Amino acid sequence: MSAENTEGFQTLQEKFGRFRILIVGRANAGKTTILQRICNSTEKPEIYDGDGNKLDLSKVEGSTGRGIHTIENELIFRSNDKLVFHDSQGFEAGRVDEFLQMKKFIADRANTTILKKRIHAIWFCIPMDEFERAIQCAEEMFFGECDPGNVPVVVLFTKFDALLPVALGKLIPTDRRLPPRERLSKAELLMEGIFNSADIWGRLAQMKHTPKSYVQMGGMDKSSKGCTKLVEATTGVLGEEALQMLLVSAQEVNIAICVRYAVREWVDKGYRQGVQLITLNS
């Protein structure tokens, strides 16, 4: 990041604080792995309470009481402290108290006048190892009853590679006799068709509070594959240019994204200055 961009990020951070994300999903949705990849880390995050006090991770993990680690807590990775995460803690059907707590958290943090406490995006994780039951009561409750206001929701279809065995099973007999690499390539093409036939996105789009975008994410346990698309999708649905730059500057997944947005900002700035000059001279 150039000195000018660093200065710009510091100005944004002074106004908005760090880029803040609420991640929602089932306990087996791969949320922690995604956060690690986004922050280029293999370590567990440090946890802070709402007042900024660091919590003892061993006590948080070892506790049988769910109240110690709440949605209000901030998850921050030492490898990248420009991003702050809040975790819904395995939001599942039947946990009415947790749902109401999350609903209140979203309402409060989406509308707070304290900009540094405001959440900027919500990532909702749906694992594809259960693609036939992707939309359950938890998803219906969230997209039916949780109003995120101006905070965009991006759906993460995690464990997308779980569709590969299903696709391999759908290959026609002649394709099954192909060399392994060609057979795999054929199956990968079928994965998209399997996903589309389940109509998961179409069903979500018909709900009261519809998500803004989605990303298919697979192989996250092995690489950062998919993270670039996630950052781009999230940036694309942010309503403010300042928040776009805050996220782009904070992420460390792909330096090309930073360069692309820096160039775009430079071009837009030049265009605006050109329009101003034309207006003044006309």
Closest C-alpha among 47, 28, 48, 15 to residue 127: 28
Distance of CA 252 to the CA centre of its chain: 14
Which of the 8 DSSP states describes residue 78? T
**Structural element, H or E, at residue 236:** helix 227-237
pLDDT tens string for the chain (282 positions)? 545 555 566 777 788 889 999 999 888 888 989 999 899 888 999 999 988 899 986 655 544 344 445 899 999 999 899 999 999 876 665 578 888 999 999 999 999 999 999 999 999 999 999 899 999 989 999 999 999 999 999 999 999 999 999 999 999 888 888 898 999 999 999 999 999 999 999 999 999 999 999 999 987 766 666 788 999 999 999 988 899 989 988 876 666 666 666 555 555 545 444 545 454 555
Give dist(CA 4, CA 267) in Å, integer: 15
User: Is residue 128 a contact partner of residue 159, using CB atoms and an 8 Å limit?
Assistant: yes
Domain 3-255 classified CATH 3.40.50.300?
Answer: yes
pLDDT, tens digit, 9 for 90 and up, residues 68-116: 458 999 999 998 999 999 998 766 655 788 889 999 999 999 999 999 9
Closest C-alpha among 54, 113, 100 to residue 78: 54
Q: Residue ranges of the domains in the chain? A: 3-255
Closest C-alpha among 210, 198, 194, 97 to residue 152: 210
Edge-to-edge strands, sheet with 19-25: 46-48, 74-77, 80-87, 19-25, 121-127, 153-158, 213-216
pLDDT, tens digit, 9 for 90 and up, residues 51-72: 889 998 665 554 434 444 589 9
Give dist(CA 89, CA 28) in Å, integer: 11
Give dist(CA 207, CA 223) in Å, integer: 33
Distance from first CA to last CA of the chain, Å, rounded? 38
